[in-house]
């Protein structure tokens, strides 16, 4: 099976809830060590050294940005209100 892309747990979870976008956030990049700090983006150099193609990585979005709403299916499965906004989060010590 080919890997369509790389995401962290938060991004996968929000996508399953109804996020229309696949993304990462700056605090998640600090966890995996592939961040170019002055740009708050993926480090091309580190990704190349690790053998990770840049086209497999999601765009970086800033915290508090809305990326979708809770889907009807997710609302039924979780009890969250359908249509509730889904926003990019961030680490508890970085934000």
Of residues 70 and 61, more confidently modeled: 70
Any domain includes 94: no
Mean pLDDT of 59-73: 91
User: Residue 71: which pLDDT band, with cuts at 50, 70 and 90?
Assistant: very high
Domain enclosing residue 74, as ranges:
9-87
- Of the candidates 85, 81, 33, 42, the one whose C-alpha atom is nearest the C-alpha of residue 61 is 42
Residue 55 lies in a domain: yes
Q: Is residue 22 part of a domain?
A: yes
Q: Please state whether the predicted TM-score (pTM) of the whole model is above 0.75.
A: no
Structurally, how many domains does the chain consist of?
Answer: 1
Q: Is residue 20 part of a domain?
A: yes
35 within domain boundaries: yes
Query: Is the residue at 2 inside a domain?
Result: no
Average pLDDT over residues 34-48: 91
Regarding predicted confidence, which is higher, 12 or 45? 45
Question: What pLDDT, on a 0 to 100 scale, did the predictor assign at position 69?
Answer: 96
Q: Decide: residue 14, CB within 10 A, 0-12 exposed, 13-18 middle, 19+ buried.
A: buried
């Amino acid at each position: 099976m080919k890997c369509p892309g790389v995401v962290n747990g938060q991004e996968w979870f929000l996508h399953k809830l109804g996020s229309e976008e696949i993304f990462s956030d700056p605090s998640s990049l600090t966890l995996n060590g592939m961040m170019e700090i002055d740009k708050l983006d993926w480090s091309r150099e580190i990704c190349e050294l690790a053998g990770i193609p840049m086209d497999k990585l999601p765009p970086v979005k800033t915290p508090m940005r809305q990326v979708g709403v809770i889907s009807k299916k997710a609302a039924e499965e979780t009890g969250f209100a359908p249509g509730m906004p889904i926003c990019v989060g961030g680490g508890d010590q970085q934000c």
